[in-house]
Amino acid sequence: MRHLSSKIETLVDHPRGLLLTISLFVSLRLGEITLIFMTGTGRTLTSARELAIGTGLDVALFCLLLLGLTRLGDVDIRRLFFGRLPNLWEGVKWGSVGIVCSIPGFIHATSVPTYFGYEGYVTFVFLHIAQVTIAMPCIEETLFRGVCFGSLLVVGRLQAYAISTILFLLWHVTFVDLIIKGSTGLDWPHAAIITVFGLVTAYVYEKTGKLTLCIIFHGAGNALVSSAPFFLYLQEYFLTRP
Protein backbone atom coordinates (compact mmCIF):
# COMPACT_ATOMS: atom_id res chain seq x y z
CA MET A 1 0.00 0.00 0.00
CA ARG A 2 1.11 3.54 -0.69
CA HIS A 3 1.46 5.91 2.24
CA LEU A 4 0.14 9.43 1.69
CA SER A 5 1.72 10.72 4.86
CA SER A 6 2.62 9.48 8.30
CA LYS A 7 -1.09 9.56 9.10
CA ILE A 8 -3.14 8.22 6.18
CA GLU A 9 -2.70 5.02 4.23
CA THR A 10 -4.73 4.85 1.03
CA LEU A 11 -6.57 1.57 0.52
CA VAL A 12 -7.89 2.41 -2.94
CA ASP A 13 -6.09 4.42 -5.60
CA HIS A 14 -7.27 7.49 -7.51
CA PRO A 15 -9.27 7.65 -9.79
CA ARG A 16 -10.65 4.28 -8.74
CA GLY A 17 -11.59 5.68 -5.33
CA LEU A 18 -13.59 8.54 -6.82
CA LEU A 19 -15.41 6.28 -9.29
CA LEU A 20 -16.12 3.83 -6.48
CA THR A 21 -17.46 6.65 -4.27
CA ILE A 22 -19.82 7.94 -6.96
CA SER A 23 -20.98 4.44 -7.89
CA LEU A 24 -21.72 3.52 -4.28
CA PHE A 25 -23.26 6.95 -3.67
CA VAL A 26 -25.80 6.39 -6.45
CA SER A 27 -26.37 2.74 -5.54
CA LEU A 28 -26.99 3.50 -1.86
CA ARG A 29 -29.35 6.35 -2.67
CA LEU A 30 -31.38 4.24 -5.10
CA GLY A 31 -31.37 1.36 -2.64
CA GLU A 32 -32.51 3.63 0.17
CA ILE A 33 -35.39 5.07 -1.87
CA THR A 34 -36.46 1.59 -3.01
CA LEU A 35 -36.38 0.15 0.50
CA ILE A 36 -38.26 3.10 1.98
CA PHE A 37 -41.14 2.71 -0.43
CA MET A 38 -41.10 -1.08 -0.22
CA THR A 39 -41.51 -0.89 3.56
CA GLY A 40 -44.12 1.84 3.31
CA THR A 41 -42.28 4.22 5.64
CA GLY A 42 -42.51 7.15 3.22
CA ARG A 43 -39.98 9.96 2.84
CA THR A 44 -40.44 11.41 6.35
CA LEU A 45 -40.17 9.19 9.41
CA THR A 46 -42.72 10.46 11.92
CA SER A 47 -43.24 7.56 14.32
CA ALA A 48 -41.10 5.29 16.47
CA ARG A 49 -42.08 2.28 14.35
CA GLU A 50 -41.11 3.97 11.08
CA LEU A 51 -37.86 5.18 12.58
CA ALA A 52 -37.01 1.68 13.82
CA ILE A 53 -37.54 0.41 10.27
CA GLY A 54 -35.48 3.31 8.93
CA THR A 55 -32.62 2.45 11.29
CA GLY A 56 -32.77 -1.15 10.09
CA LEU A 57 -32.55 0.13 6.52
CA ASP A 58 -29.45 2.15 7.41
CA VAL A 59 -27.82 -0.99 8.82
CA ALA A 60 -28.70 -2.83 5.60
CA LEU A 61 -27.22 0.03 3.55
CA PHE A 62 -24.03 -0.06 5.61
CA CYS A 63 -23.69 -3.79 4.94
CA LEU A 64 -24.27 -3.10 1.24
CA LEU A 65 -21.57 -0.42 1.36
CA LEU A 66 -19.05 -2.79 2.94
CA LEU A 67 -19.90 -5.46 0.39
CA GLY A 68 -19.40 -2.98 -2.44
CA LEU A 69 -16.04 -1.88 -1.05
CA THR A 70 -14.74 -5.42 -0.72
CA ARG A 71 -16.10 -6.70 -4.04
CA LEU A 72 -15.64 -3.65 -6.27
CA GLY A 73 -12.80 -1.81 -4.59
CA ASP A 74 -10.89 -4.71 -3.02
CA VAL A 75 -10.70 -2.61 0.16
CA ASP A 76 -9.38 -4.21 3.33
CA ILE A 77 -12.28 -3.34 5.66
CA ARG A 78 -10.48 -4.50 8.78
CA ARG A 79 -7.49 -2.28 8.04
CA LEU A 80 -9.75 0.66 7.15
CA PHE A 81 -11.54 0.59 10.52
CA PHE A 82 -9.06 -1.10 12.86
CA GLY A 83 -5.67 -0.48 11.28
CA ARG A 84 -5.03 2.43 13.66
CA LEU A 85 -7.37 2.40 16.63
CA PRO A 86 -7.68 5.55 18.76
CA ASN A 87 -6.99 5.57 22.47
CA LEU A 88 -9.48 6.78 25.06
CA TRP A 89 -8.06 10.29 25.22
CA GLU A 90 -8.28 10.75 21.45
CA GLY A 91 -11.89 9.57 21.47
CA VAL A 92 -12.86 11.97 24.25
CA LYS A 93 -10.92 14.82 22.65
CA TRP A 94 -12.37 14.58 19.16
CA GLY A 95 -15.82 13.66 20.43
CA SER A 96 -15.80 16.87 22.48
CA VAL A 97 -14.61 18.87 19.48
CA GLY A 98 -17.44 17.33 17.44
CA ILE A 99 -19.97 18.51 20.02
CA VAL A 100 -18.54 22.04 20.03
CA CYS A 101 -18.51 22.18 16.21
CA SER A 102 -22.17 21.09 16.15
CA ILE A 103 -23.46 23.93 18.35
CA PRO A 104 -24.55 25.95 15.26
CA GLY A 105 -26.38 22.84 14.01
CA PHE A 106 -28.06 22.46 17.41
CA ILE A 107 -29.22 26.08 17.32
CA HIS A 108 -30.52 25.63 13.77
CA ALA A 109 -32.31 22.40 14.73
CA THR A 110 -34.26 24.19 17.46
CA SER A 111 -36.05 26.15 14.73
CA VAL A 112 -37.18 23.04 12.85
CA PRO A 113 -40.80 21.94 13.46
CA THR A 114 -41.12 18.85 15.65
CA TYR A 115 -43.88 16.38 16.43
CA PHE A 116 -44.73 17.54 19.92
CA GLY A 117 -47.69 15.85 21.51
CA TYR A 118 -48.06 12.63 19.59
CA GLU A 119 -47.77 9.33 21.38
CA GLY A 120 -44.29 7.82 21.45
CA TYR A 121 -42.45 11.09 20.80
CA VAL A 122 -39.77 10.50 23.45
CA THR A 123 -39.09 6.99 22.11
CA PHE A 124 -38.88 8.48 18.62
CA VAL A 125 -36.24 11.01 19.71
CA PHE A 126 -34.04 8.42 21.41
CA LEU A 127 -34.26 6.10 18.41
CA HIS A 128 -33.35 9.02 16.17
CA ILE A 129 -30.31 9.83 18.30
CA ALA A 130 -29.18 6.19 18.11
CA GLN A 131 -29.61 6.22 14.33
CA VAL A 132 -27.66 9.41 13.68
CA THR A 133 -24.87 8.68 16.17
CA ILE A 134 -24.05 5.16 14.97
CA ALA A 135 -25.54 4.06 11.66
CA MET A 136 -25.29 7.29 9.67
CA PRO A 137 -21.72 8.26 10.73
CA CYS A 138 -20.48 4.75 9.86
CA ILE A 139 -21.94 5.02 6.34
CA GLU A 140 -20.92 8.61 5.67
CA GLU A 141 -17.41 8.48 7.12
CA THR A 142 -16.57 5.21 5.38
CA LEU A 143 -17.68 6.53 2.01
CA PHE A 144 -16.70 10.21 2.05
CA ARG A 145 -13.61 10.22 4.25
CA GLY A 146 -12.26 6.66 4.22
CA VAL A 147 -12.64 6.08 0.48
CA CYS A 148 -13.19 9.42 -1.27
CA PHE A 149 -10.93 11.74 0.75
CA GLY A 150 -8.25 9.13 1.29
CA SER A 151 -7.96 8.26 -2.39
CA LEU A 152 -8.03 11.89 -3.60
CA LEU A 153 -5.36 13.11 -1.22
CA VAL A 154 -2.66 11.77 -3.56
CA VAL A 155 -3.94 14.24 -6.18
CA GLY A 156 -3.98 17.23 -3.84
CA ARG A 157 -5.39 18.47 -0.55
CA LEU A 158 -7.64 21.04 -2.21
CA GLN A 159 -9.22 18.46 -4.51
CA ALA A 160 -9.64 15.98 -1.67
CA TYR A 161 -11.33 18.48 0.63
CA ALA A 162 -13.49 20.05 -2.08
CA ILE A 163 -14.79 16.90 -3.80
CA SER A 164 -15.38 14.85 -0.64
CA THR A 165 -17.23 17.75 1.00
CA ILE A 166 -19.37 18.50 -2.07
CA LEU A 167 -20.41 14.85 -2.29
CA PHE A 168 -21.08 14.85 1.46
CA LEU A 169 -23.36 17.87 1.01
CA LEU A 170 -25.17 16.26 -1.93
CA TRP A 171 -25.71 13.16 0.22
CA HIS A 172 -27.96 15.30 2.44
CA VAL A 173 -30.14 16.41 -0.47
CA THR A 174 -33.58 14.79 -0.44
CA PHE A 175 -33.55 13.45 -3.98
CA VAL A 176 -37.18 12.33 -3.97
CA ASP A 177 -38.28 15.86 -3.11
CA LEU A 178 -35.81 17.22 -5.65
CA ILE A 179 -37.43 15.16 -8.40
CA ILE A 180 -41.04 15.67 -7.32
CA LYS A 181 -40.98 19.19 -5.86
CA GLY A 182 -37.80 20.68 -7.25
CA SER A 183 -36.61 21.27 -3.65
CA THR A 184 -33.31 20.08 -2.15
CA GLY A 185 -34.76 19.87 1.35
CA LEU A 186 -31.91 22.10 2.60
CA ASP A 187 -31.94 25.79 3.46
CA TRP A 188 -28.78 27.89 3.24
CA PRO A 189 -27.87 27.78 6.96
CA HIS A 190 -28.26 23.98 6.99
CA ALA A 191 -26.16 23.62 3.84
CA ALA A 192 -23.44 25.84 5.30
CA ILE A 193 -23.37 23.83 8.53
CA ILE A 194 -23.06 20.54 6.63
CA THR A 195 -20.27 21.96 4.45
CA VAL A 196 -18.21 23.20 7.39
CA PHE A 197 -18.79 19.96 9.28
CA GLY A 198 -17.63 17.95 6.26
CA LEU A 199 -14.46 20.01 5.96
CA VAL A 200 -13.64 19.66 9.66
CA THR A 201 -14.26 15.91 9.61
CA ALA A 202 -11.93 15.55 6.63
CA TYR A 203 -9.33 17.48 8.63
CA VAL A 204 -9.77 15.02 11.52
CA TYR A 205 -9.02 12.15 9.13
CA GLU A 206 -6.01 13.90 7.62
CA LYS A 207 -4.72 14.87 11.05
CA THR A 208 -5.12 11.46 12.70
CA GLY A 209 -5.45 8.92 9.89
CA LYS A 210 -8.03 7.11 12.02
CA LEU A 211 -11.46 6.59 10.48
CA THR A 212 -12.90 5.51 13.83
CA LEU A 213 -12.11 8.99 15.21
CA CYS A 214 -14.07 10.54 12.34
CA ILE A 215 -17.02 8.33 13.27
CA ILE A 216 -16.73 9.35 16.94
CA PHE A 217 -16.41 13.04 15.99
CA HIS A 218 -19.38 12.79 13.62
CA GLY A 219 -21.52 10.74 15.98
CA ALA A 220 -20.94 13.07 18.93
CA GLY A 221 -21.86 16.09 16.82
CA ASN A 222 -24.97 14.39 15.47
CA ALA A 223 -25.97 13.42 19.02
CA LEU A 224 -26.06 17.08 20.03
CA VAL A 225 -27.99 18.19 16.95
CA SER A 226 -30.52 15.37 17.15
CA SER A 227 -31.13 16.07 20.84
CA ALA A 228 -32.42 19.57 20.04
CA PRO A 229 -36.07 18.44 19.60
CA PHE A 230 -35.87 16.64 22.94
CA PHE A 231 -34.67 19.80 24.67
CA LEU A 232 -37.59 21.65 23.08
CA TYR A 233 -39.91 18.88 24.25
CA LEU A 234 -38.66 19.18 27.83
CA GLN A 235 -38.87 22.97 27.68
CA GLU A 236 -42.46 22.87 26.48
CA TYR A 237 -43.33 20.16 29.01
CA PHE A 238 -42.06 22.09 32.01
CA LEU A 239 -43.41 25.44 30.82
CA THR A 240 -46.91 24.05 30.31
CA ARG A 241 -47.06 22.11 33.58
CA PRO A 242 -49.66 23.50 36.00
Tell me the mean pLDDT in the region 73-102: 91
pTM recorded for the entire structure: 0.87
Tell me whether residue 7 is in a domain: no
Tell me whether residue 211 is in a domain: yes
* Amino acid 83: pLDDT: 82
Tell me whether residue 8 is in a domain: no
Q: What is the DSSP string of 135-195?
A: IHHHHHIIIIIIIIIHHHTTT-HHHHHHHHHHHHHHHTS-HHHHHHHS--S--HHHHHHHH
Mean pLDDT over each residue of the chain, to the nearest integer: 82
Report d(CA 236, CA 238) in Å as an integer: 6
Tell me whether residue 10 is in a domain: no
Tell me whether residue 154 is in a domain: yes
* Amino acid 3: pLDDT: 44
Report d(CA 140, CA 162) in Å as an integer: 16
Which domain, by its residues, includes 192? 16-240
Instruction: Give the best-scoring range by mean pLDDT among 28-32, 71-75, 221-225.
Output: 221-225
Q: How many folded domains does the chain comprise?
A: 1
